[in-house]
């Protein structure tokens, strides 16, 4: 979603778009580390993930993601495209809930303490891989179509970032975290690495003109 959104917000740095689309998962490991939200390692919880998301009302409820999305939109509007970009950033934040609603079992809260929803795509590994890998490929294709590399960093940095994301995704499919501490630590480090990588790559790419 973040890669594709570059077409709608060409002024926005890719790191801002990624942080918007992943804001729920940026907040979640921090809140778990602080003991505010809870997760349990439960192999077999679904076919795709060994995690039981016991409680994450502040990072993953629909209502609060709407709020966080509007806040992030206001805070980043001057770097994205003015007030008109606020709905885009808010939409990216909320899109995380929509996509998680499709993949998760019924554990996605509408609001803190409210009903939980989920269609359970993660109960099928083949269908999960098909949907999520196609989405990643489509996003990368759109991003490459709207930008061009300024230099070798812009060219190879982007493709290595995509390769890293793909390998990390496939590795998570077969791995079970040894502890909740290891899980949230790896999640926080992963967010920082991907954010820095995306910022670096995007600085070495430019929005392509219609004549490019």
pTM: 0.92
Supply angle C-alpha 184, 128, 36, rounded to 5.
Answer: 25
> How far, in whole angstroms, is CA 164 from its chain's centroid?
14
Q: Which domain holds residue 85?
A: 2-207
Count: domains in the chain: 1
Place of tokens 């990624």: 18
CB environment 49-69: b (16+ within 10 A), e (fewer) = bbbbbebbbbbbbbebbbebb
Residue 9 lies in a domain: yes
Q: H or E stretch including 198?
A: helix 180-203
Residue 212 lies in a domain: no
Written as tens digits, the pLDDT of the chain (212 aa) is: 999 999 988 888 999 999 999 999 999 999 999 999 999 999 999 999 999 999 999 999 999 999 999 999 999 887 776 677 889 999 999 999 999 999 999 999 999 999 999 999 999 999 999 999 999 999 999 999 999 999 999 999 999 999 999 999 988 887 899 999 999 999 999 999 999 999 999 999 999 865 44
Residue 14 class from Cβ within 10 Å (0-12 exposed, 13-18 middle, 19+ buried)?
buried
Residue 20 lies in a domain: yes
Token pair listed for 96: 């995380």
Residue 152 lies in a domain: yes
Residue 110 lies in a domain: yes
């Amino acid at each position: 979603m973040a890669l594709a959104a570059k077409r709608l917000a060409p002024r926005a740095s890719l790191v801002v778009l990624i942080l918007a689309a992943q804001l729920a998962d940026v907040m979640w490991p921090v809140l778990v580390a602080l003991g505010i939200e809870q997760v349990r390692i439960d192999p077999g919880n679904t076919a795709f993930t060994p995690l039981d998301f016991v409680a994450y009302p502040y990072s993953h409820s629909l209502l609060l993601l709407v709020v966080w999305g509007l806040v992030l939109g206001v805070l980043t509007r001057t770097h994205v495209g003015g007030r008109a970009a606020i709905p885009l950033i808010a939409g990216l934040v909320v899109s995380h809930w929509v996509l998680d609603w499709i993949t998760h079992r019924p554990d996605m809260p509408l609001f803190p303490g409210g009903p939980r929803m989920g269609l359970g795509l993660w109960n099928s590994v083949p269908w999960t891989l098909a949907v999520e890998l196609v989405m990643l490929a489509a996003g990368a294709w759109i991003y490459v179509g709207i930008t061009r590399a300024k230099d070798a960093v812009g060219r190879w940095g982007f493709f290595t970032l995509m390769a890293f994301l793909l390998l990390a995704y496939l590795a998570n499919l077969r791995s079970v975290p040894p502890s909740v501490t290891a899980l949230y630590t790896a999640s926080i480090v992963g967010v920082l690495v991907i954010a820095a990588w995306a910022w670096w790559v995007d600085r070495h790419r430019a929005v392509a003109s219609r004549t490019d």
